[in-house]
Structure 1
Amino acid sequence: MNPWLPTAPCAPGTCAAHTGRTRLPPVAAALLLAGCAWALAGVLGAPFLPLFGPARRERLIRRWSYGAVRAFGVRVRVTGDPVPPAGTPGTLVVANHISWLDIPLVAAVVPGRMLAKREIRRWPVLGPLAAHGGTLFVDRDRLRALPATVRALAAAMRGGSRVVVFPEGTTWCGRGPGGRFGPAAFQAAIDAGATVLPVRIGYRVTGHRAAPAERHAPAGAAAFVGDDPLPASLWRVVRAAGLTAELHVLPPVPAAALPDRRALARRAQRAVASESANRSPESVHH
């Protein structure tokens, strides 16, 4: 099996289901239209981002990304350590991967240049938005392209950029430990002398009307796994009442603190998978 193409056992029929309260179809349809309209507004506005300075550009990206998650009816909760400021050398942000919602969720807190599979470039609305946002696209079917990808990531971090990577290589449903973190992006962090910032993503059903069991179990409605069509996933998300996206910021790890890329990948994976990432310290962003 090609190691650049990991697979998860998660499938839409068994993992991507919502068993809690649901919104009425007209309400869900209104949220779907609002979310798509917000995404389209981002596409139209993205070409103008270079006109702004770095600080203002980052604020705009954060606000748009937060608004994108909220437009689809999903609450946002961020916990953990303060986010380190961008600087030189840059930062490699690594997270577990559950849903298409992960992308705007991370950008709402730690915006950076995303690493994404080449196919996303052809997606309607989201593809052009990703391209305008400086996404680094990778051809996962060509292992020979991997060294060039590592060099591109390292160059971006040397220039002071944050680079956001989902090193599991594919989406998992959020139940269980998830996938192994591939080491390639961590080599780029070592080459650039960068800092690795692990973050943990989860989705829960919250609210006073949510059953206790729902509050503690991962919300399957957010999972975007296997051959799940994007329209079906969008509809599940807007139908799920009380869906909350949670992002836990973990302590940064200097890339030079570990002997090699595999050790660095294991360190980040353990941090993201640890139970401490799922505790509920005071929220810093709603």
Structure 2
Amino acid sequence: MSAWLPAAPCTPAACVEPARTGSGVPRAVLRLTAVTVLLLAGTAVALSPLRGRTPDALVRRWCRWVVRATGVRVRVTGAAAPGGGLLLVAPHVSWLDVPLLAAVRPARMLAKSEIRRWPVAGPLAARGGVLFIERDRLRALPDTVARVAGALREGAAVAAFPEGSTWCGRAHGAFRRAVFQAALDAGVPVQPVRIRYRTRERTLSTAPAFVGEDTLLASLWRVVSARGLTAEVEVCPAVPPGLHPARRSLAGAAQQAAAGAWTGRGGHHRKAHSKSMCPL
């Protein structure tokens, strides 16, 4: 696997906790229904003339509602700057990471170009300002960096998962450096965000992970079937522009802040095993 298409060794069989029947099928179905209603409501707003006038506070609240509707409690500590160009970066475990980052601050997401061709989701993503990346074309990298830098200069927040692939949550990958070049070029701060999923017993949970050959439906069912899950979102102090003049050191500082101590109770770092969202 090339550096342009990074992958993690995580697989559902090796790393992910199986779905449990703790909440029961009726409760899981009710949660799925609630998520569907919220997504339909959000889609209606995205397609309406109100899209550009929706307050950020309402967007953040809606994102938290989506996660909460799955049965996952949300705990956010810290806050991001409410305005101005900002690069949000976080390790990548789950599809839940996307609304959780938007709950910190609504941002333009980086996503693989294949999503643009998905029915319904593709047009909606494009309309929502997603920055698409052609992962199989290394020559497209400078243009992608320039587009991200342009968005940052215009005062937008851009959210990225610089590992380039999802991990199970008990291990994590290295942050790729290219997206940090965009922050350097635009002269904007980098906001590391630490996301962890924990059980009721406060140990790290892999139930929300979306890895390997996992399907979105299987991952979604694991989440809505689980009980006592909490998403802990810690907004780390922003790295101001100019503190790290090279993208390597900037990426390293952001990774150190966002990764934190990725261990469970009594656990240690271990190689784990991905669905690629952002190869930068």
Aligned counterpart for 2:254 among listed residues 268, 272, 277: 268
Structure 2 residue 200 is matched with structure 1 residue 200: no
| Deviation, structure 1 residue 169 | 0.3
How far the C-alpha of 1:254 sits from its partner, in A, is 1.6
Cα separation, 1, equivalents of 2:87 and 2:13: 33
Corresponding residue for residue 71 of structure 1: 69
Once residues 245 and 129 of structure 1 are traced to their aligned partners in structure 2, the CA distance between those partners, rounded to angstroms, is 26
Structure 1 range deviating more: 44-53 or 112-121:
44-53
- 1:32-91 deviation line (CA, Å, top 9, x unaligned): 1221221122112102365554xx431232122111111212110112x3322212xx11
Which residue identity lines up with residue 270 of structure 1 in the other structure?
Answer: Q
Q: Does 1:84 align with 2:87?
A: no
Shift of the alpha carbon at 1:246?
1.1
TM-score by length of 2: 0.88
Counterpart position of 1:106: 101
Q: Please name the residue that 2:30 is paired with.
A: 30
- Structure 1 SS opposite 2:219: helix
Consecutive unaligned residues in structure 2, runs of 5 or more: 265-280
Question: For residues 125 and 44 of structure 2, what CA distance do their matches in structure 1 show?
Answer: 12
Code of the residue aligned with 1:269 in structure 2: it is: Q
Q: d(CA) in 1 for partners of 2:18 and 2:212?
A: 17
State whether residues 17 and 221 of structure 1, in contact with CA within 8 Å, keep that contact through their aligned partners in structure 2: yes
Query: How many Å separate the matches in 1 of 2:59 and 2:18?
Result: 30
Amino acid at match of 1:175: R
**1:242 aligned to 228, 235, 238, which one?**
228
The structural deviation recorded for 1:245 is 1.1
* Fraction of identical pairs, as percent: 55
Higher helix fraction: Structure 1 or Structure 2?
Answer: 1
Mapped to 1, the partners of 2:92 and 2:218 lie a distance apart of 18
After TM superposition, the structure 1 = structure 2 runs for residues 131-142 of structure 1, keeping only pairs within 5 Å, are: 131-142=126-137
* TM-score normalised by structure 1 residue count: 0.86
Q: How many residues align?
A: 264
**Offset at 1:179?**
0.6
Corresponding residue number in structure 1 for 2:185: 191
1-structure distance, mates of 2:49, 2:250? 34
CA contact (8 A) 1:43 1:128 kept: no
Matches within 5 A, 1:157-236: 157-176=152-171, 178-206=172-200, 212=201, 215-216=202-203, 218-236=204-222
* Distance in 2, Cα, partners of 1:9 & 1:49: 43
Aligned partner of 1:238: which letter?
Answer: V
Residue 125 of structure 1 deviates from its aligned partner by 5.2
Q: Is the 8 A contact 1:18 1:240 kept in 2?
A: no
Partner SS, residue 7 of structure 1: coil
- CA 1:122–1:77 in 2, change beyond 3 Å: closer, same or farther? farther
Asked whether the equivalents of residues 94 and 198 of structure 1 are also in contact (C-alpha less than 8 Å), the reply is yes
How many angstroms apart in 1 are the aligned matches of 2:148 and 2:257? 22
Point out the more displaced range, 178-187 or 35-44.
35-44
> Structure 1 residue 127: deviation in Å?
3.7
